[in-house]
Amino acid sequence: MQVFHSTAELSKLNAPLHLALGVFDGVHVGHQEVIRYAVEGARAEGGLVGVITFEPHPIRVMAPERAPRRILASIEHKANLLKDLGVDFLCVQEFTLDFAQCEARDFIDELAGSAGMLKRVAVGEDWIFGKARGGNVQRLREWGNELGFVVNAAPPVMIQGERVSSTRIRQAVRDGNLAAAKEMLGRDYTVQGTVERGRQLARQLGFPTANVVAHNEQLPPDGVWQLEAVIEGQHYKAIGNLGRRPTVETEAARRLLEVHVFDFEGDLYDLVIEAKFIKYIRPEQKFASVDELKAQIEADVASVLVESA
């Protein structure tokens, strides 16, 4: 997917544009409703579908004390999810204090000028933007009528009487309620991370693992998990331990996702792995000896292989 790093770069595109605007952390079912307007508009009228998002999350700049510590999807992860929804390009607008002082109308004028053939803007129905929160859907529609683009505003998606939100999903993941997270995401919960070189202790136990450092994405509870690993577009059965490895590490060890990928041959170092959390096997625990740990790993692997057969 093509990725731009400011709305000014949209001037490189010589095509009608249908844009969805928002933070879209996790690209959950509510976000998907907003994006659907842009996708269907492009299918009906022709043109390209783009998503404009803001990085870092605006709340981290405007009210850092209220910002979540973790996100649901890094930019790279978000791009992959958007591609699956039919989005052609992603525009990542840096959000700074200076950018926050931009008047709402000035932002729309700049966007329309850069986009050239802007045909559609899709947002959530309560979207607020610009200096002093001066822009809303009503004003956006007025400016769209003047500048020649359609505005679609998606209502919130409700599940079990509550609005779907990234905050609710983060809490569900923290609690280990991945069924609830899946319902709100419209997909299994996954985490992306980069594989880094470790001490290769698992290799000595007969089960080499990839040390996956998550890209600041929300992790579920510590323990052993049945996983599916996506590596360079290929899907593999896997098992993972999430935690601090108390049998072989000190209490100060950092939290890490160790992934053993079945039927994989090759070097994983520095690659990005997407880990899909399928089933919780057991809590992480400290064993009396490395031999006990090895025996438990063998039992865990056997149980996952039976489950995924």
Residues 135 and 65 in one domain: yes
Structurally, the chain folds into a number of domains equal to: 2
In this predicted structure, what is the pLDDT of residue 147? Answer: 97
In this predicted structure, what is the pLDDT of residue 278? Answer: 94
In this predicted structure, what is the pLDDT of residue 203? Answer: 59
Q: Average of pLDDT values for 25-39?
A: 98
Q: Average of pLDDT values for 260-274?
A: 90
* Domain boundary pick from 100, 133, 166: 166
Distance, CA of 45 to CA of 145 (rounded, Å): 18
- Locate 182 and state its tokens: 């899946």
Cβ neighbours of residue 69 closer than 8 Å, sequence gap 6 or more: none
Residues 193 and 157 in one domain: no
- Locate 46 and state its tokens: 């022709």
* Alpha-carbon torsion (169, 174, 180, 183), positive or negative: positive
Whether 181 is covered by a domain: the verdict is no
In this predicted structure, what is the pLDDT of residue 309? Answer: 65
Contact indicator for 24, 120 with CB cutoff of 8 Å = no
Residues 95 and 221 in one domain: no
Residues 156 and 229 in one domain: no
In this predicted structure, what is the pLDDT of residue 199? Answer: 65
In this predicted structure, what is the pLDDT of residue 201? Answer: 61
Cβ neighbours of residue 26 closer than 8 Å, sequence gap 6 or more: 71, 72, 73, 166, 169, 185
Give the residue numbers spanning the domain of 115. Answer: 2-166
In this predicted structure, what is the pLDDT of residue 246? Answer: 73
